[in-house]
Chain A
């Protein structure tokens, strides 16, 4: 357990630091969302209609930004060898790193999203649902993304490859996430969508550590 917390703690320090990816990711997210009104025009009805989709797609892309570095920096400087030698199953090492990734990308993205929702004229009643959906959905992005990051360790063009591998696999998160917000803004219950997001997260949480650990083992050979 202490080894697990040590990995999370170290990655948080590295992530929050000046060279960490957190601020860049957040900035990208805000910038990407604010491009849409410039692209589609400022009419409040149109913006309110597309707000949920825009925020979710931007969050998806922002979460991809720092993914390729998730294990790569550790591999380049030899830390990954040590992590694999820690008295901790490799799946838990992967989970610790993924948790730190979520805490420095998914969590801040989710927390800032309500602000952007207001800018995009989203219905007030839908905003808490947006927050809940993002909090439930972004951990899945980190988990599935970590599989892509681990698979492309040492690959040519890894940075472009990670989104190519990951984005098709996280489409359910996008669909259920946007669905929850839209249901809420039509005055319907968002419950089923949120439950499906939760189910997807539970599945990803149970299965992806194995895939990540398998992929890291390959990279260590």
Chain B
């Protein structure tokens, strides 16, 4: 499992964010995106997730362009954006159950997966609470719990630590460590320190690898 990016360029609203971006990420590796606001961190993540076509260059998975089989690429990744996608009218449990069903989990398995994801996120006590009563940090934890519902080799996380307290950041570190120990790849944009051991660093918009 390896992700390679070759000569990638991104244009948003007639403005070029970055160009000629090239890097490789092997199984178990993590990449941390740095850069000021508007330097294209979120756009790069959305581009890798397949939401955004690149203006130039290509994204390869195991040496094959991901556009060759967009469905396979979609199934192998988790994308977590700025928003938590938590419906305010649905309870924490129902939110997770919906995602589990969306990922195609059979009903019996879905119930099991949702329960264990809720307890991993420390939200058992809030599981019947509608989304609108959850705090920002709890919603973020719920969104992160989604990562446990479907196995995926590539995690694309945009500011995952937003609104998280110290304990929850430590939990995220654990999640990331586990994921990488199983050969998973992580690409993560964050303004604050994330517990991510020996991650490679990418500075945008210059695209310099450190």
Contact = CB atoms under 8 A, between A and B. Distances in A.
Interface string A61-99: 000000000000000111101111111000000000000
A81 B51 contact: yes
A221 interface: yes
Contacts of A207: none
A198 to B, nearest CB: 32
Interface range, B side:
20 to 34
Given A77-B87, A78-B82, A84 B102 contact: no
B90 A81 contact: no
Interface string A114-134: 000000000000000000000
B106 interface: yes
Interface in B95-123: 98-99, 101-106
A13 B79 CA distance: 25
A48 interface: no
Contacts of B53: 221
A84 B87 contact: no
A82 B102 contact: yes
A3 B85 contact: no
The secondary-structure label for the interface of chain A is: helix
Contacts of A2: 101, 104-106
Given A85-B49, A87-B71, A87-B75, A7 B102 contact: yes
Interface residues of A, number: 23
Contacts of B159: none
B28 to A, nearest CB: 23
A189 B82 CA distance: 57
Interface string B50-82: 011100000000000000000100110101011
Contacts of B99: 82
A81 B81 contact: yes
Contact of A6 (B51, B86, B89, B101): B101
Contact of A78 (B81, B88, B90): B81
Nearest to A93: B102
Nearest to A86: B102
B84 A3 contact: no
Nearest to A75: B83
